[in-house]
Every structure is written in C-alpha cells, then in structure tokens.
Chains A and B, each alone.
Chain A
Amino acid sequence: MTSSDQQVDSNLSQENGLAIINSKAPFGSNYGKDALDVALIFGSFEQKVSLFFQGDGVYQLIANQDASLVSIKDYLKTFSAFEFYDIEDIYVCQQSLVNRQLDEAFHINDVQVLASVEFGKALNRHQHVLRF
C-alpha cells in the first residue's frame, strides 16, 4: 500500500455513521421490517445511515414482489421513501446476487452493486454496525 492509499483510507475511516446490514429474506421473518424501522428513525433524526444487503438480504431489493400474496403488509414499498430520509448509500453484495442467480433488477434506484472487497471496504467506513 502506498502512502497516498493510506491517506485515502484514513479519510474514509472518518466517515462515521451507522451501517445496517440486511441479511435475511424479506417475508420469512420480521428482521427486514425491524431493520427498516431503525433506518427510518436514524434518517428522521438526521443521522447518517447506510444500508447493506448481503446473503438472503438481497431478496429485499428484488423488483416485482407481491407481499399481499402471502398476506404480509408490504414494507418493501417504504424503501422508495429513503431519499426523503436522506438515506442515499445503499449497497448490495454482487456475489450474493450471483450465488442466487438474481439479476440486478431492483425496486428502488441508486443501489450500488459492489464486489465483496469493495462491499467490505464500504462497511468498514462506518463507526457503528447493526445486523438484521
């Protein structure tokens, strides 16, 4: 690593804020909704929050899902409100999509698909991490 790389890394580590990792499929448990509630509260308190989707959590971003078919209130629709809460950093793990043969067809815009190393680096920029 060169000294300029180290400079960049130390700047990034000062970014702070909360990272929320979503690791569960959307309708098999309450984890996704519980994570969403935390994200929106941090957003409404004007605290920086970034969302990470990894493992089965990537299913929360896939387009054209109909929760009403399984009688679940569709909390995924609320994802479209992220910009009103200034939640702008949304990262998805590319390898998790590939492993599940999922296309990058998401129901919200501005999702950043990152390779594992980049995903890890983005996560590392945050002071706090919660995982659901």
Chain B
Amino acid sequence: MKTLAVVVTTPPYSHLTITALTYVETALAAGIKVIGVFFYQDGAMHANENISIASDEYQAIAHWQRLNQQYQLPLHICITAAEMRGIACDSIDNEQINQAFTVSGLGELVELTTKATRLVQF
C-alpha cells in the first residue's frame, strides 16, 4: 500500500499552511494512507495553545485538530523547533501544548521518511 508523509515548515498564520491542509485533507478523503505530519521549523508553532488568530481568518490549528480526530492523523512536532519558539515541552500534561499534537524529535521524521512511499514538504 502506498503511503504519504507530510512535512509542514510554515506557521499557522501562513497562507501556505492552507495549501498543506487542503492537500492532506484531499489525500485522506481519497483514501490515501497518510502516516503522519511532521511539523518542523515554524511549523512547530501549530502546537502552541496560546496562538490566537482573528476569528474571521482561516483557523489552521483547528483544522489540523479536526483531521487528527476525524482520521486519527498523527501530528508530530519537533521538540527542538518548538522549544526555541517558546513552547515548553517538559511535561505531557502541559497546557501550552495543543493535545492533538505529539511532541517528537527529528528521529520521528526519519521514521516517517523511511516508511512513506512519498514525502511532501510545505
């Protein structure tokens, strides 16, 4: 079975993230097995519970959360990228971290890359 892994490097307020979300949701809806999304660089900001985007704008974080619930889509954030952006990752019940996201390391990116038929970066 062909599998897809996605790397997101853009922040939640970026229009480029909308493209990533649309791409992932289209793949899921088409029945493609998406084995995970890895949030690297500014992408790690998605897990920050304190981010607030004007309500009439695209709510990227809420959409990732929805895909996580609807499709059990694994969402991994890079711990190094997250910590340097002010997201403390020291405990799992941390209120700063959106619970849809799993705190991972770059090792998870290796894992996803070796398992996926295709890796797509945004």
Contacts and interface: CB of A to CB of B under 8 A. Distances in A.
Given A34-B41, A128-B119, A130-B121, A41 B109 contact: yes
Contacts of B118: 128
User: What is the interface of chain B mostly: helix, strand, loop, or mixed?
Assistant: helix
Interface string B15-27: 0000000000000
Interface residues of B, number: 16
A67 to B, nearest CB: 18
Contacts of B101: none
Contact of B109 (A30, A38, A127, A129): A38
Contacts of B102: none
Contacts of A18: 113, 119
A47 B114 contact: yes
Task: Kindly name the residue among B7, B80, B113 whose own CB sees the greatest number of chain A CB atoms within 10 A.
Answer: B113
A37 B116 CA distance: 20
A21 to B, nearest CB: 10
B119 A41 contact: no
Interface string B88-113: 00000000000000000111011001
B80 A41 contact: no
B40 A41 contact: no
B107 A37 contact: no
A41 B121 contact: no
Contacts of A130: 7, 119, 121
Interface of B: 7, 40-41, 80-81, 105-107, 109-110, 113-114, 116, 118-119, 121
Given A34-B41, A128-B119, 14 more contacts: A18-B113, A34-B81, A38-B109, A41-B105, A41-B109, A45-B107, A47-B110, A47-B113, A127-B119, A128-B113, A128-B116, A128-B118, A129-B121, A130-B119
